[in-house]
Chain A
Amino acid sequence: MIFIILLILLAEVCGVAGQILFKKTINGLEAPDMRSHTSYLVFLKNVLRVPAVWIGFCCVGSGVAIWLTALAQADLSLVFPIDSMQYVVTLIAARIFLDEKMDRMKLGGTFLIMVGIALVAMS
């Protein structure tokens, strides 16, 4: 039981680490010009050239693999509510590593989403 919970949390940390790496990479690059199609292609090419993005892929991939391992062993009604913790982990990580600002709307809205996901999972 505890093992499953730790496994899911580990999967979430992997997934969120991937997202942080993506966003960190993108923050360091020039954003594409919305009016130019070619600038999007150049932008995507630049993003895929950064090693951190590929490390991010590996993080997300191993997160999914760990998650599936947990899923195979545990009750779904347990896995999904714990999995909605990823929103909390994401906000904390975005605050720490990306210096993103938090406010009541964002925190409250994210909480509602988590409750909603837990309800969806229980049904």
Chain B
Amino acid sequence: MKKSGLTLGIFLLIIMTDIGESVAEILMKKGLIATGISSISMDNIREFIVMNASSYFIWAGVFIYILSFLAWIVILSRIELSVAFPIGSTSYIFVPILSIIFLHESVGVLRWVGILFIVAGIHFVSKSAKSRKKEPEKI
């Protein structure tokens, strides 16, 4: 009745979860930058917390994190942890790309090579999950 194993839908859900986490991280970083506080000490920690707690960026980040976690729970109900976890490394691809676009950071050649390795690795892990016909998990 139910399909278990890595389907395209689950794969896309993992990628969406990763994009969600990456976006959440970018939002939080934006929020942290917006406070204008670069080093935290006992003198400004109260101000630091208050500014973050009243930042829309921070709250949007937290909200997206929670959504990502709920999606992660659904993902784990479908596939093995040892497949889901490596594929979850796509955030190492999305964070640099989002950082270029939204934080105007520069990304070097070595980083692109690393990203290629990650993509190849994800490909193999996904193949491992597909090639094995698993018994459907108990219903």
A residues whose Cβ falls under 8 Å from a Cβ of B: 19-20, 22-23, 26-27, 29-34, 40, 43-44, 47, 87, 90-91, 94-95, 98, 100-106, 108-123
A32 and B77 contacting across the interface, CB-CB below 8 Å: yes
The answer, yes or no, to whether B113 is at the interface (CB within 8 Å) is: yes
- A32 to B70 CA separation, bound complex (whole angstroms): 13
- Contact, CB under 8 Å: B74 / A43: yes
| Chain B: minimal CB distance from A57 (Å) | 9
B114 touches A31 (CB 8 A): no
The reply to whether the CB of B29 lies closer than 8 angstroms to some CB of chain A is: no
Q: Is the interface of A mostly helix, strand, loop or mixed?
A: helix
Cβ distance A80 to chain B, nearest Cβ, rounded Å? 9
Closest to A90 in B: B85
- Contact of A26 with B73 in the complex, beta carbons under 8 Å: yes
State A33–B78 Cα separation when bound (angstroms): 10
Chain B residues proximal to chain A, CB less than 8 Å: 2-4, 9, 70, 72-74, 76-78, 80-83, 85-86, 89, 92, 96, 107-111, 113-129, 131-132, 137, 139
List of B residues within 8 angstroms of A31 by Cβ = 2, 4, 77-78, 137, 139
The answer to whether B70 touches A112, judged by C-beta atoms less than 8 angstroms apart, is no
Which A residues lie within 8 Å of B3 (CB)? Answer: 34
Chain B contacts for A19, CB-based, 8 A: 81, 85
Q: Given contacts A116-B117, A117-B118, are A94 and B2 in contact (CB under 8 A)?
A: no
Q: Assuming the A-B contacts A31-B2, A113-B89, are A22 and B73 also in contact, with contact meaning beta carbons closer than 8 angstroms in the complex?
A: yes
Residues of chain B with a CB closer than 8 A to A47's CB: 73
Q: How far is the CA of A103 from the CA of B130 in the complex (A)?
A: 12
